């Protein structure tokens, strides 16, 4: 049987095999992680577009934000909470990698979900305060401000759901799917935390320095 040019075949893997032989092949548990990285890359492009829109609108405005800037207190508290959750999740991941300590990993997942819940409460409080000054209908600043925060909040909720799913399935290493549920949910949470760090640096801090 001929093969396309440039494709190398493993000698220990036959070209034609039975279903039993296919099931007996070793699992490549990295495929799920590569899929998660590709998903994160696509989500990154969404935020790149949103931040481009934010700065495009800012450059066309003589006074940005038009009203009083949002308070820094709650966003910085949120940042501290998310960083704490990442530290705990990394502790659980290392424990799981070292000796399959699933108890430590599950505790870390619970802490991560709890930090996500704290984020939701704090973000709602922030919205309630700032909606008295700026609403999504006020102007272009209000529209893009709440759009970015709402989309990021949706990503945090998805991260919480991924961690909740990881709690319900056997943690790695596992001989059957899902593979690396803890690892994949953790790296998505790290990504969401990095996005929040960028939001604080690009949206919350500049109005206090460049008005």
Find the CATH number of the domain harbouring 133: 1.20.120.80
Angle subtended by helix axes 102-130 and 140-168, to nearest 10: 160
Q: Which long-range contacts (CB under 8 A, 24 or more apart) does 171-179 make?
A: 171/96, 171/100, 171/102, 171/105, 171/106, 172/29, 172/96, 172/100, 173/29, 173/100, 174/29, 175/27, 176/27, 177/32, 178/32, 179/27, 179/29, 179/31, 179/32
Cis peptide before 173 (omega within 30 of 0): yes
Using an 8 Å Cβ cutoff, are 129 and 75 in contact? no
pLDDT at res. 25: 59
Tell whether 116 is covered by a domain: yes
Compute the average pLDDT of residues 163-181. Answer: 83
Compute the average pLDDT of residues 46-72. Answer: 91
* Residue 58: CB atoms within 10 Å: 19
Using an 8 Å Cβ cutoff, are 172 and 96 in contact? yes
Tell whether 128 is covered by a domain: yes
Tell whether 108 is covered by a domain: yes
Tell whether 20 is covered by a domain: no
Compute the average pLDDT of residues 130-155. Answer: 94
Using an 8 Å Cβ cutoff, are 156 and 119 in contact? yes
Tell whether 205 is covered by a domain: yes
Tell whether 140 is covered by a domain: yes
Using an 8 Å Cβ cutoff, are 159 and 116 in contact? yes
Compute the average pLDDT of residues 158-178. Answer: 86
Residue 175 has pLDDT above 80, yes or no: no
What is the residue-averaged pLDDT of the chain? 86
Least confident piece of the model among 67-71, 75-79, 81-85 = 67-71
* Residue 128: CB atoms within 10 Å: 9
Using an 8 Å Cβ cutoff, are 50 and 62 in contact? no
101 band by pLDDT with thresholds 50, 70 and 90: low
Q: CB-side exposure of 97: number of CA atoms within 13 Å?
A: 7
pLDDT at res. 8: 45
Q: What domain range includes position 157?
A: 76-211
Tell whether 196 is covered by a domain: yes
Domains held by the chain: number = 1
pTM of the model: 0.83
Tell whether 153 is covered by a domain: yes
- Helical ranges in the chain per DSSP H: 19-24, 30-59, 73-99, 102-130, 140-168, 181-199, 207-210
* Residue 186: CB atoms within 10 Å: 28
């Amino acid at each position: 049987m001929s093969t396309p040019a440039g494709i190398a075949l493993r000698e220990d893997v036959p070209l034609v095999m039975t279903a039993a032989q296919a099931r007996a092949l070793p699992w490549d548990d990295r495929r799920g992680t590569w899929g998660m990285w590709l998903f994160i890359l696509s989500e990154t492009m969404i935020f790149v577009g949103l931040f481009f829109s934010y700065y495009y609108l800012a450059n066309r405005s003589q006074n940005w934000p038009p009203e009083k800037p949002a308070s820094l207190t709650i966003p910085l508290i949120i940042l501290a909470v998310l960083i704490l959750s990442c530290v705990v999740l990394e502790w659980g991941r290392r424990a799981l990698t070292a000796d399959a300590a699933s108890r430590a990993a599950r505790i870390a997942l619970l802490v991560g979900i709890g930090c996500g819940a704290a984020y939701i409460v704090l973000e709602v409080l922030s919205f309630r305060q700032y909606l008295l000054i700026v609403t999504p209908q006020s102007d272009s600043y209000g529209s893009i401000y709440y759009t970015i925060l709402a989309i990021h909040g949706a990503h945090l909720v998805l991260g919480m759901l991924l961690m909740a799913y990881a709690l319900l399935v056997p943690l790695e290493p596992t001989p059957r799917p899902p593979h690396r549920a803890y690892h994949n949910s953790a790296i998505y949470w790290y990504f969401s935390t990095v996005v929040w760090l960028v939001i604080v640096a690009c949206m919350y801090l500049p109005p206090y320095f460049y008005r």
